[in-house]
Amino acid sequence: MRKTTTKLADGRELIYYDRDESASRDVRDRRPLDPTASRAEVRRDPVLGDWVTVAAHRQARTYHPPADECPLCPSQGERLSEIPAADYDVVVFENRFPSLAADAAAHLDAAHPAPGGGPGQELHLTRPGVGRCEVVCFTADHLASFADLDEAKARLVLDVWTDRTAELGALPEVDQVFCFENRGAEIGVTLAHSHGQIYAFPFTTPRTAKMAAQANEHRARTGRNLFEDLLAAERADPARVVLTGEHWTAFVPFAARWPYEVHLYPNRRVPDLTELTEPERAEFPGLYLELLRRFDRLFRPATQSPERPLPPTPYISAWHQAPRRSGAELALHLELFTIRRTEGKLKFLAGAESGMDAFVNDVSPEAAAQRLREIAT
């Protein structure tokens, strides 16, 4: 893998990752861009204890541009995009409209004062939204999805996620690195081009903090690791297992929240992507691509009209990695789920889920696993 780091016209970092070691990446960004400025801050919810990011500058971010104005396609002639090169394998660049940024503290000036100063000041805890948000472009092909990649390209993406985890995790202000992909307009994606994102948080995210608390309680009660016990239990009773390999296991969780939800674990507990061995890395692309392709077959009718093709399955794919300060008991794993519950119907988070975080699943986890096994190639 060849890694080439350069700068965009406004000073943001852009990194090319190429399989071709001889690739030349000397094309400069010719756009007349002003320097970016992030006024992000994080505020602590005094009731739940969660940190919430406030990033009002993101209201101006790009929203559903036409295909010929896609900012993630390579630049061609005078059609200039976020990627100056005319082609690429995988590209990572700093988000132009970041939720978190390294210079966030510098732009929280008197025009944007931190709350406080009156009654209850101790309840209003705030700090600059220091961190980093990156965009990961998986392919130069505007119409391709991650599932369309071959195994060599998917392996390159895994290597990119690993490299970014190592680099961002070493920043002193970062506690947790989160690599993820949102796919589909139903999920809320505003750019159709296949891409993911990476957030480098200055805090442990609420979901991870809850996992850590459960894992610590399990260790105190049993003397064992929660995630090792969980994986062993699923492998011993394969009713919810979808795919297995020598180094990875994919299963529908016992208490799945989403209609179709699969967790992919390495069989050996590691805290993050940087700790995977070469055999584990080599096996991952094939299993992951098979899962994504099965998700796309989930709602495909037996006879599909070419005039009315079914849109791809919307999904979120999220890597859970151990944070720096509270991750001793946690295990690297990927969670993949869709909000589509059946053909033409979505699962919306309404009163119980959004109001009380009390999920109701419309599909039994065992039935979901059976369906995902049935649609194997």
Could you give the residue numbers annotated as active site? Answer: 195
CB-neighbour burial class of residue 9 (10 A; exposed 0-12, middle 13-18, buried 19+): middle
Provide DSSP, 239-292.
Answer: GGEEEE-SSEEEE--TT-SSSEEEEEEESS--SSGGG--HHHHHHHHHHHHHHH
> Residue 171 corresponds to which tokens in the numbers above?
């920043």
User: Is the distance from CB of 53 to CB of 107 less than 8 angstroms?
Assistant: no
Angle (deg, nearest 10), helices 206-222 and 226-236: 80
Strand partners, 7: 13
How buried is 66 (Cβ within 10 angstroms: 0-12 exposed, 13-18 middle, 19+ buried)?
Answer: exposed
174 Cβ partners below 8 Å, 6+ apart?
131, 132, 168, 200, 201, 202, 324
In this structure, are residues 328 and 322 in contact, taking their beta carbons and an 8 Å threshold?
yes
Q: Which residues contact 350 (CB under 8 A, 6 or more apart)?
A: none
Cα separation, 246 vs 265, whole angstroms: 11
Cα–Cα distance for residue pair 104/55, rounded to 1 Å: 10
3-class secondary-structure state, position 188: coil
**Helix, strand or coil for residue 105?**
helix
**Assigned token pair, 335:** 């969670």
Residue whose C-alpha is closest to residue 210's, from 333, 48, 83: 48
Cβ atoms 53, 42 nearer than 8 A? yes
Beta strands in the chain (DSSP E): 2-7, 13-18, 41-44, 51-54, 90-94, 126-128, 132-137, 176-183, 195-201, 241-244, 248-251, 260-266, 315-320, 333-338, 340-342, 345-346
Tell me if 271 sits within 8 A of 320, measured CB to CB. no
